[in-house]
Structure 1
Amino acid sequence: MTKTILHIDASARRNSSVSRELSAKLVTETGAENVIRRDLSEEIPYLNETWVQGTFTPPENRSKEQVAALDFSDTLVAELTAADTIIIGTPIYNFSIPAVLKAWIDQIARAGVTFKYTENGPKGLLEDKKVIIAVASGGTAIGSDYDFASPYLKFALGFLGITDVTVLDKTEILGAEAA
């Protein structure tokens, strides 16, 4: 069975981006032939009232504006659902993730689609997926008290049911090459 990789890059820098280099190396190392590519620097729309109303409206009752507002989100959810492994390349900007990565999470966190509410609280619907996050940081050490990116991403993905999440920095990916 062929594995599908969803390769996401969140850096605003398209050239000379360390996080893009790291995530590309991880994707190459998987040897996967099925790779879905998502570059978040190509714009991710922020949520708006039409989008939110659309998510709470049954699909058959959505207005054409709501359908249009959810169309991109549906595409992102389909990419995520199709993937066995998600590799995310992200820098840490101001102690956290780039706004475009947060916007991606907002677009994919959909009640009734990627998680559901139960009597015992929310339950993620995207189980049996693996995420590897390649982090580049100029000064925020991964796992430090001021690293808000790693715990946020682990929590947000866990909320969706994805609990197999590994966060790697440059030295963990490149080893001796990083020196």
Structure 2
Amino acid sequence: MSRLLVVESSARQQGSISRQLTAEFLQRWQASHPADQIIQRDLASTVLPHLDTDLLGGWMKPAAEQTPAEQAALARSNELTEELLAADVLVLAAPMYNFGIPSTLKAWLDHVLRAGVTFKYTETGPQGLLSGKRAIVLTARGGVYAGGPLDHQEPYLRQALAFIGIHDVQFIHAEGLNMGDEFQQRGLATARQAIAEVA
């Protein structure tokens, strides 16, 4: 039995392609892996604050010196980090906003990329501590960007995940969604075929 952590980052609850892809992925995954446990984290319904002085204080100050706000920030970061540590498979659903990831997903990453917890510094540089995990990233994009210079989404997420030790990362892109019906249908069909193969 495996544990999946599913992180949704679309700002839209209705009409979101990335949420539709996630639902299809989970339906297929559960059919193939009925004993697996699925934990879902929706960054639109439970919005995380951006990295701030309270979170930094919670990480860096001794417990006795933390303010109530810093203690709350640390508790929130601990909860998110523990979800990630407990997961065998990480599923990120990420629409492309302005050539990159949603700021809500960046905020989640800022809470879980933690020195001494998910990575550590060594004499030869940083070392990820989450080896053995797998990640699947579902994206929804208005244009066609994969492999091009304007795709700041996939390279960034690959680097961020590798930094914490997750190197087995598979991207499933639904592209061309705002380029007319033909492009949209082709992009969705390509993504759904990949989902069927992965799940």
Gaps of 5+ in 1: none
Give per-residue Cα distances to partners, 1:107-156, cap 9 Å, x unaligned: 11111111111111111111111100011000142222110000000000
Structure 2: how far apart are the matches of 1:34 and 1:22? 19
Matching of residue 53 in structure 1 with residue 57 in structure 2: yes
Would the aligned equivalents of 1:6 and 1:83 in 2 still touch at CA under 8 Å?
yes
C-alpha RMSD over aligned residues: 1.7
Q: 2:78 aligns to what?
A: 74
Structure 2: how far apart are the matches of 1:168 and 1:119? 36
Structure 2: how far apart are the matches of 1:57 and 1:119? 24
How far apart are 1:172 and its partner, in Å? 3.5
How far apart are 1:50 and its partner, in Å? 2.0
Matching of residue 13 in structure 1 with residue 12 in structure 2: yes
Q: 2:145 aligns to what?
A: 141
**Which of the residues 126, 130, 145 maps onto 2:130?**
126
Give per-residue Cα distances to partners, 1:40-88, cap 9 Å, x unaligned: 1120111111211221234566444322111111111011111100111
Amino acid aligned to 2:129: L
Task: State which drifts further: 32-41 or 3-12.
Answer: 32-41
Matched position secondary structure for 2:15:
coil
Q: 2:29 aligns to what?
A: 30
TM-score by length of 2: 0.82
Gaps of 5+ in 2: 175-188, 195-199
Structure 2: how far apart are the matches of 1:65 and 1:115? 25
**Which of the residues 82, 95, 98 maps onto 1:94?**
98
How far apart are 1:175 and its partner, in Å? 3.2
Would the aligned equivalents of 1:50 and 1:69 in 2 still touch at CA under 8 Å?
yes
- 1:120/1:59 CA distance change after superposition, 3 Å: farther
Structure 1: how far apart are the matches of 2:142 and 2:73? 36
Structure 2: how far apart are the matches of 1:62 and 1:115? 23
Structure 1: how far apart are the matches of 2:13 and 2:146? 23
Structure 1: how far apart are the matches of 2:66 and 2:167? 32
TM-score by length of 1: 0.91
